[in-house]
Amino acid sequence: MTLALDAPIVTEQRTKAPVVRLLRSELRFMIRRPRTLVAFGVLAVAPIIAAVAMSLATTAVNNGQISTDRQLASIASIVAGNGMILPVFVLMLSMVMLLPMLSSMWSADALAGETQTGALRGLLLAPVSRVRVLAVKAFGVAVVTTLAVVTLTVFGILAGLTILGGDGLLTMSGTTLPMGESLGRVALMAALVTIQVWAVAAVALAVSAATEHPLVVMASTLGGIIIFTILNNIPALDWLHPWLLTDGWDSLADVIRDPMPTDGITDGLLRAVCYIVIGYSLALARMSTKDG
């Protein structure tokens, strides 16, 4: 215990740890986390289950037992022998609950969870300035959510092509896109979904900075999305719809129309960027006065 130190530790004369070292440490920590590994397992398996389910359900759709959801039904009806549609379908489905849930979970752990365990105090004492803590956490959440969407997309493409088959993308407009352009459309879809997920994560991070209970973050984020979805389905409130983040999510399906309408997609994108800016601003405001 009272052992003398063998050799003195070389100390650098600086007031901040190198930012790349911080980011790498944060990422390694997030990815090693058991819940993250489980999440990625689910993200890899979900497209495979969807592919199997769809190849079975195609018969039901043909028999006229169409699901009540217009968007999903119209996509499901063109799934047979059209494997490239699977990643698009899986991304649409995941946007409803899975991806918002995971992104709010990572945001919840990033600040509220770290406050609860006391690990955030360790960072602040190192010291890492509050602005930097938020930046590092936001970076970690952004990278992991991107990886989540990429996992979903890649496994979606693989599962689609092997289980459902097909060598191009049959669009909702009835045309068939060649393989190269199909991949391009799927990549575009993935990018758009990623940005929507970032918007959810940014708002969740703002809540995360304001509480020390990770569950509060998840509950309020998912609750918010559910309320937004309900409001979005009340026609009398159509003046409110442009303000709701979820309003842009339906137009993500425009990616598989030919030619691709861009109005809905652009609106959704701008809306997401606004939510990102507002979310991080609130998080920063809260973070700068948060008790460590």
Q: Which residues bind other proteins (CB under 8 A)?
A: 1-3, 5-18, 21-22, 24-25, 29, 32-34, 117-129, 289, 291-292
Nearest-CA neighbor of 90 among 80, 75, 105, 100? 75
CA angle centred on 140, ends 134 and 142, rounded to 5°: 100
Measure Cα distances from 194 to 66, 282, 287 in Å. 29, 21, 25
Q: How far apart are CA 117 and CA 124, in angstroms?
A: 14
Q: Which two tokens stand for residue 167?
A: 């060598």
Spell out the residues 6+ positions from residue 8 whose beta carbon is closer than 8 angstroms to its own.
none
Closest approach, Cβ 77 to other proteins, in A, equals 45
How far is residue 132's CA from residue 116's CA, in Å, rounded to a whole number?
Answer: 19
CB of 47 to other proteins, least distance (A): 28
C-beta closer to other proteins: residue 1 or 236: 1
CB of 177: closest distance to other proteins in angstroms?
A: 45
Q: Between 23 and 187, whose beta carbon lies closer to other proteins?
A: 23
Q: Decide whether 23 or 61 has the Cβ nearer to other proteins.
A: 23
Closest separation in Å from C-beta 280 to other proteins: 21
Nearer to other proteins, 6 or 263 (CB): 6
CB closer to other proteins, 138 vs 186: 138
CB contact at 8 A, 107 and 201: yes
Q: How far is the CB of 111 from other proteins (least distance, A)?
A: 13
